[in-house]
Amino acid sequence: MSDFRDTLFRYLTMLQLIPRSPGRISTTALKEKLEDRGFHIDTRSLQRDLRDRLSLHFPLICDDSQKPYRWFFDRDFQCHLPALDVPSALTLVLAEEYLSGLLPPVVVGQLSPHFSDARRLLDDLSNNGLSQWARKVRAIPNGKALIPAVLAETTWQTVAQALLEQKSIDVTYLSRTAETEKNLTLHPQGIVSRHSVTYLLALVEGFDDLRQFALHRVKQVAVSDVSWQVKDGFDIDTYIKSGAFGYLQGPDDVTLEAEIAHPVAWLLQETPLAKTQKIVPLAESEAYYLTAIVPNDQQTLWWLMGMGANVKVIAPISWREALKNNAEQVLAHYRE
């Protein structure tokens, strides 16, 4: 009975590890992942399980175009392990609405079977109001969201797999500055999605500085024969906090002081600008006084510009002058 139970659990684990198309997993990688989970099996037995057992009962497909062979499920294969409950289904529907405005369609598409399961569950609830979920659930971005840049499915699949398996990649990349295509060997270190663009953080072969590559500008990509290199001491959170994506203007935080209108005060009281934020009403005025320690970056400055006449910056002086100059330039444009 123990052997039967172990075999059953191994089959269930294999079903969870094998991706849907366009994903692929090699026999070697599957064997390693099974071993990480405590299932030790030789390669021949694993191949027999895949070919003679699981593929007889599931839409399991073998890609034998290269060795080691790679396995995947039919794209429309539905697996309910475990089954969804209603709150989880609603959460997935909201996630799909939100992510569709942030990530490229190919990235969101990787989760489409789960989203389909959620919609199907809610659609089947004909005895209550949840059957009308499509009319009742929306996710709206904060501010104007641009349409995500188009990303090729094969690009995302190859880059994501290379990142997780610590492999280098050969790419043809369209440089925005030079406006020409370059052939590069990259060593992936991380992926960051920012607004409507997804970036690969990678080392370029022959260099030790970390660079950002917009994935939608990757025109061709393939796993490279060059050994993967790690960026010593790299931490993705530290990298982001350093201002890599926020256009840091100085290494130290600054103290923002500003007079703000009532609607902005209400907004910031519910969704603070920083944990150090303080808002107090001004005497004999409908305005409020805001103080907060914030990063010295352009992103915060752009947010203040977006507030327009609802915010009057007092300090830092450099920000006050930048906002003043921007307002004068905008006014000059309209005067023309």
* Residue that has been written with the tokens 């070919």 in this structure: 51
Q: Does 81 fall in a domain?
A: no
| CA torsion angle 247 248 254 256 (round to 10) | 0
Taking only the tens place, the pLDDT of each residue in 138-163 is 666 666 667 777 788 788 888 888 88
* pLDDT given for residue 161 in this prediction: 80
* pLDDT given for residue 290 in this prediction: 94
* pLDDT given for residue 12 in this prediction: 76
Provide the CATH number for the domain around residue 269. 3.30.70
Q: How many domains does the chain have?
A: 4
Q: 214: helix, coil or strand?
A: strand
Q: Does 307 fall in a domain?
A: yes
- Do 258 and 297 lie in one domain? The reply is yes
Domain boundary among 27, 48, 73: 73
Of 300, 199, 297, 166, nearest in space to 243 by CA = 297
Q: Does 34 fall in a domain?
A: yes
- Domain of 130 in residue numbering reads as 86-135
Show the tokens assigned to 211: 């660079």
Instruction: Render the burial of 247-264: b for 16+ CB within 10 Å, e for the rest.
Output: ebbeeeebebbbbbbeeb
> What percentage of the chain carries pLDDT values higher than 70?
80
Q: Does 80 fall in a domain?
A: no
- Do 262 and 235 lie in one domain? The reply is no
Question: Cα dist. 72→14, 40, 233 in Å?
Answer: 11, 21, 35
- Do 225 and 289 lie in one domain? The reply is no
Contact between 12 and 35 under an 8 Å Cβ cutoff? The reply is no
Taking only the tens place, the pLDDT of each residue in 210-259 is 888 988 899 899 999 999 998 888 888 888 777 777 666 667 889 999 99
Taking only the tens place, the pLDDT of each residue in 124-133 is 665 555 555 5
What is the mean predicted confidence (pLDDT) over 323-327?
A: 91
**Which residues, listed in sequence order, are joined to residue 26 by a DSSP beta bridge?**
70
Of 117, 69, 110, nearest in space to 93 by CA = 117
Residues with Cβ within 8 Å of 46's Cβ and at least 6 positions away in sequence, in order, are 27, 30, 31, 34
Taking only the tens place, the pLDDT of each residue in 174-191 is 887 767 888 999 999 888
- Do 96 and 37 lie in one domain? The reply is no
Question: Cα dist. 191→169, 177, 186, 196, 243 in Å?
Answer: 14, 21, 13, 13, 16
Q: Does 317 fall in a domain?
A: yes
pLDDT top residue among 123 and 1: 123
pLDDT band at 260 (very low <50, low <70, confident <90, very high): very high
* pLDDT given for residue 51 in this prediction: 84
Does the pLDDT of residue 83 top 60, yes or no? no
- Do 213 and 265 lie in one domain? The reply is no
Does the pLDDT of residue 201 top 70, yes or no? yes
**Cβ of 224: how many Cβ atoms within 10 Å?**
18
Q: Does 94 fall in a domain?
A: yes
Question: Cα dist. 157→13, 190, 194 in Å?
Answer: 22, 14, 19
Q: How far apart are CA 60 and CA 21, in angstroms?
A: 10
What is the mean predicted confidence (pLDDT) over 120-124?
A: 68
- Do 35 and 111 lie in one domain? The reply is no
- Do 288 and 231 lie in one domain? The reply is no
Q: 12: helix, coil or strand?
A: helix
pLDDT band at 1 (very low <50, low <70, confident <90, very high): very low
- Do 236 and 164 lie in one domain? The reply is yes
Question: Cα dist. 246→5, 21, 86, 170, 267 in Å?
Answer: 52, 36, 38, 28, 22
- Do 313 and 265 lie in one domain? The reply is yes
Domain boundary among 242, 269, 299: 242
- Do 103 and 165 lie in one domain? The reply is no
Taking only the tens place, the pLDDT of each residue in 264-319 is 999 899 888 888 999 999 988 889 999 999 888 888 888 899 888 999 999 999 99
Of 36, 47, 42, 44, nearest in space to 13 by CA = 36
Q: Does 147 fall in a domain?
A: no
Domain boundary among 242, 266, 297: 242
Q: Does 177 fall in a domain?
A: yes
- Do 258 and 177 lie in one domain? The reply is no
